[in-house]
Amino acid sequence: MQPSASLQLQGSIVAIATPFRDGKVDEAAFRRLVEFQIENGTSGIVPCGTTGESATLSHEEHEQLVRLTVEIVAGRVPVIAGTGSNSTREALRLTESARADGADAALLITPYYNKPTQEGLYRHYREIAETVDLPLIVYNCPGRTGVSIAPETVARLAPLKNIVAVKDATASLDWTSEVCGTCDLTVLSGDDSATLAQIAVGARGVISVLANVAPGPMAELVAHALADRWDQARALHHRYFRLMKTLFIETSPIPVKAALEMMGLIGPELRAPLCEISEASRAKLREAMRQVGLL
């Protein structure tokens, strides 16, 4: 299958959670989540990202989720498959598989744990970009990986035709500004609470955790900001700011899956070594959700 020729990467794109039941992917609940997103204005779906517990998905489950997402979405919005790994060979295989299964693009986290140099990061992305004919998003999240790709390295990657965007989860306006100022790449925020500020310096949207539970408001916030309706965008940012932060009160996706459970959209199951949210954090999460009318 060929990815969409008219791929647009902007707006509020959800990093969608993966529901489990009895140790397996809960396909029925996942279908509900995807439809909930599309019905409420989400601009794209990212299966198998960090929020989707990609680290503990088997390769078979990973491929199953990408295929399932493509099937459910049926071309209505882009499907951006998480295909990153700390092994270039594995990331390459996952990206090739995502392309074959009809994904519109791939999101690749910087290799984690082995902490490659900037030259190693460049070669990692270059090899995948030159091997797989699929739009690729470089994902910088040093808080998760232990390594940050430098703006200068992003600038080296920008001329490669399949490198089309960067997801910036540094929450650093300096990093965002450098990339936006030196590269002709789409920049997407990777931090809900920093999205408004990052759009102000050039980002075009967000790959969002909040959108799992509040897809409509997050889509509206980004749309207002991109249209220079800053008063409306700021109002939504301030209204949802507490919930944005509370969704990271424990390791993500523990809080967002608890929130989805409270909303009756999925069951409570996480995959070890992640475990259920603490009662103290659950109470804070419930209150933050209540304040914005989600409960």
Residues with active-site annotation: 139, 167
Q: Which residue has the tokens 């009318």?
A: 293
Contacts (Cβ under 8 Å, ≥6 apart) of 236: 217, 220, 221, 224
